[in-house]
Structure 1
Amino acid sequence: MTTSELEPQKTAKPKTVAIKPTRQAQLHKLLTRKSGVTIAQLQKTFGWQPHTARAAISAQRKAGCAVTRTETDKGSVYRIVAGQGDQ
């Protein structure tokens, strides 16, 4: 017998993989912030064009969330109204 036969064999342990939230989940989190989110912030965060950011907000509306738009000096700020349509 050789020494390698006497040593217990090492088995590889499965690695835990952190699941990255979907873009829709990330968008929902941004929209539920107290400060809300602007189209410019969505463009910077996700690398989207303005029409893509507006379409993603529209998808949140279609999913049942009550999204409001408020005009500010920074531009339009979008928020999900608390208690209505939260997922």
Structure 2
Amino acid sequence: MIKDIINKSAKSEVINLSRAIFLLVNRIICRAGFGKNYEELEERRFDKVFKEAQEIAGAFYFGDHFPLLGWIDKLNGMKSRIDKNFS
């Protein structure tokens, strides 16, 4: 990561620090949790999964607030998004 930042700064290229920090944290979590490093292609997949998980976590669920209206979560597709992302 540091070499990449040095190379880009030497060429006066724009550096996306948010992306660089995200990749660093992602590598640390994967190394600690799974015991191995993941390549760039797999990092993109994790990036997609993390963004989806963040959107799901911030969404409103009728079933959480009004248990009798939990069927609305199935109707609007939120239940299937949760099952797809977390199973």
TM-score (norm 1): 0.25
Structure holding more helix per residue: 2
Report the TM-score, using the length of structure 2 for normalisation. 0.25
Larger radius of gyration: 1
Bigger strand fraction:
1
